[in-house]
Structure 1
C-alpha cells in the first residue's frame, strides 16, 4: 500500500486525542514530522509516533519534499495563516474544525487549493457520531413522515473558566459558537442544506466569562424549523436530538461513545465494536406504526481519514468539502449579525 508521508502541525489535545488515534487506525499514513513545542506535547508525540521527528519550525515541514499531507491542529485564530503557508508549499491539508474564523479567509484557502490542485478538507468528524448517523438514517428513510422540526443539543457543565485560547475574547474564533456550534451547524447543513433565515441568541452565562458560552440558533427552512443549542451550565442534560414529523417523533438521549473512548487512550483499530452505542441509550421512535427503542447506527471517525487518503491517492470525492466547511462559518457570521442587530437575518 502507498505510504502517505504526513506531518502534524500542533499536538495538543486536538492532535493527540482526537486525530492521532484515528489516523493510526487507518492504513497508509506515515507520520514523519510533528510541530509542537511544550514538553508535555513533545513527550506524547514521541510516544505515539516514535519514528517521527519533532520540529520547532513550520519551515522544516514545508521544505520537506517527502511530506504530502499536513494535519493542522492549532488554535482557531492560527488556522488561516498556517493553512495558507501549507497550501502555498504544495501540501495537501486537513484542518481541524472550525475551518477559519472568517468566510473571507476560507474562500482564500479554497482558491489556493484549487489553484494548486490540492486536497483540502476539514475535520467535521461528528457527521460520523453514532447518534447523528442514526438521525440521518431516520430522516432519509422518512420514518417520521414529512419532518417539521429538528432540535440538536451539545451541552456540558463547566462552570469554571479554564485557562486557554478558547476563553480569550481577543482571539478570533474563540467561544462556544465556533467550538461546539460548528459541529451542530455542520450536521444541520449536511441534512438540510443552507437555510433561508437565521436567528441567534448568544450569551455569556458563567461568572467572569469573556467569550460566549451559550447559544440558541434557529435556522428557518420552507417546511422545517431547526433549533441548535449548546451551553456550559447544563448539569442535567435533556435530549441530544428531538425530531418531529407528520407521522411521529424520535427522541435521543446520551452522547456518542467515541469521544470518551479516545480520552481513555483507546484506538479504533483495537475494537471490533468501535463506535457502537449500548442499547440503554438508543433513541425512542414513536410513530403511527410502532413505538420502540430504535437501534443506533455505529459511529466511526475513521471515515474522515480513510476518505482523505482515498482522495489524495486515487482521486475519490471528498466527504467533507471545504465549501461545506466554509458555509458553516457563513452561518456563524450570520448568527453573530443576528445577535448584534437582534433580528432575523435573511441568509443568502
Structure 2
C-alpha cells in the first residue's frame, strides 16, 4: 500500500499506553510515529515495543513536526478542548479520547474550527465496537424482541480504595464517573435510539473520602421506551451488563467485552488470532418468540474490534470513507451529560429541547 499515515500520540498514561498505542499499531494504514511523555522509563519501554518510535517531551514539539499527520490526544479531561484546538490550528487531523470536551459550547467551537481547517475531528468512542454491543444491534435489527420497552446498561466496577497520584481522583473540571464512563453508555444509547424526550439523573459520591462523583443513574425517556444507564465503583458482585425487554422477548448479558483486559495485560490485536471473541460461557441469553417459534438459548457474541475505529479514521483522512464517530454525535453526548448534571442538581426531570441537538 502507499505511505502510511504518521500518528503522534499526546499522552502515554494508561489510556495512551493500553487503549490507543496497540490499537493504532494494529492498523496497517497507520504508523505510530511519535509519543509525548516525560517519563524516561515509559519512553524506553515504548521504543522497544514500537520500532523507530520518536519521543517528544512536550506536545508543542510534536505539533511542530510536519511528519505528523494525525494527532491522538489522551490527557486529563480538563485539557481536552485546549489541546484539540492547538492540534487543529497546527493543521493536524485529531482523535481525542472521550469525553470530547467538558462543555458542549467548547465542542461546538472545535467542530467549527475543524470545518474551517478542513481536518478530520473525531472522538474515541471505542465501545461501539464491543462484542456485546455489536450483538445487541444485530438482535434489535432482527426484531427478535419485538417492540422494545426497556433497555438497561451497566458499567460497574469495584474500587473502594481512592487511588493516590491519579488525576482521575482529583476534584478537577470534567472528572468523575459521569465524564469517565458516562460517555460510553450515553453514546451507545444515542446511537441506538436517538435523542430522548426527557432525562433524569441521580449522581452521587458513595466512597468515603472520594473527591469525585463515583455513581450515577441516568434515565432517558423516549415515547414508548425507558433507557436506564448505571455506573458505580462499589459493585463487588457484578450483575448483568445489559438487559433488554420487548413485547416478544428479552435479552440478558453478563460480562464485558474481552478487549480491555487483554490490552491491560499488554496484549496486541496482532498477537491474537481470535482478538475480540468472547468465550461461549459469556454469551448472552435470548428468550423470545419469533415467527411462531419459542426460543431460549445463548446467542453467539459478535466479534469486537477497536481497530475498526482507527481503520475508519485512516480511510476518512484518505477520502475513502465517511467518519463513523461524527463529532456532532460526541458533542451531543456532552450536552446530555450537562442536562443530566442539571437534573441531579435541581432534583427534577429535564425536558429536552430537540433544537439543542
TM-score (norm 1): 0.98
Partner of 1:334: 339
Matched, 1:294 2:299: yes
CA shift digits 1:118-149 (9 cap, x unpaired):
00111000010011111111111110000000
**Following the alignment from structure 1 to structure 2, what is the Cα–Cα distance between the partners of residues 108 and 195?**
24
CA shift digits 1:57-81 (9 cap, x unpaired):
2222222222110011111111111
Structure 1 segments of 4+ aligned residues over 6 angstroms from their partners = none
**Following the alignment from structure 1 to structure 2, what is the Cα–Cα distance between the partners of residues 301 and 32?**
19
TM-score (norm 2): 0.95
**Following the alignment from structure 2 to structure 1, what is the Cα–Cα distance between the partners of residues 153 and 230?**
6
Summarize the Cα distance change of 1:45–1:344 in structure 2 as closer, same or farther, 3 Å threshold. same
**Following the alignment from structure 2 to structure 1, what is the Cα–Cα distance between the partners of residues 34 and 305?**
26
Partner of 1:178: 179
Tell whether the 8 Å contact from 1:167 to 1:211 is kept in structure 2 after alignment.
yes
Tell whether the 8 Å contact from 2:34 to 2:56 is kept in structure 1 after alignment.
yes
**Following the alignment from structure 2 to structure 1, what is the Cα–Cα distance between the partners of residues 174 and 43?**
25
Tell whether the 8 Å contact from 2:152 to 2:227 is kept in structure 1 after alignment.
yes
Map 1:18-37 to 2 at 5 A: 18-37=19-38
Partner of 1:140: 141
**Following the alignment from structure 2 to structure 1, what is the Cα–Cα distance between the partners of residues 140 and 281?**
22
**Helix, strand or coil for the counterpart of 1:286?**
strand
Q: 2:318 aligns with which of 300, 313, 319?
A: 313
**Following the alignment from structure 2 to structure 1, what is the Cα–Cα distance between the partners of residues 215 and 75?**
23
Task: Pick which of 191-200 and 308-317 moved more.
Answer: 308-317
Tell me how far 1:236 sits from its aligned partner: 0.5
**Following the alignment from structure 2 to structure 1, what is the Cα–Cα distance between the partners of residues 273 and 345?**
48
Matched, 1:157 2:158: yes
**Following the alignment from structure 1 to structure 2, what is the Cα–Cα distance between the partners of residues 66 and 295?**
43
Tell whether the 8 Å contact from 2:343 to 2:350 is kept in structure 1 after alignment.
yes
Partner of 1:218: 219
Tell whether the 8 Å contact from 1:157 to 1:233 is kept in structure 2 after alignment.
yes
Tell whether the 8 Å contact from 1:45 to 1:54 is kept in structure 2 after alignment.
no
Partner of 2:199: 198
Tell me how far 1:37 sits from its aligned partner: 1.1
Q: 1:168 aligns with which of 162, 167, 170?
A: 170
Matched, 1:63 2:64: yes
**Helix, strand or coil for the counterpart of 1:270?**
coil
Unaligned ranges ≥5, structure 2: none
Tell me how far 1:56 sits from its aligned partner: 1.5
Aligned residue pairs total 347
**Helix, strand or coil for the counterpart of 1:326?**
helix
Taking only aligned residues, the RMSD between alpha carbons, in angstroms, comes to 1.0
CA shift digits 1:280-336 (9 cap, x unpaired):
011110012211111111111010110000000124111101111111101110000
**Following the alignment from structure 1 to structure 2, what is the Cα–Cα distance between the partners of residues 145 and 16?**
42
Unaligned ranges ≥5, structure 1: none
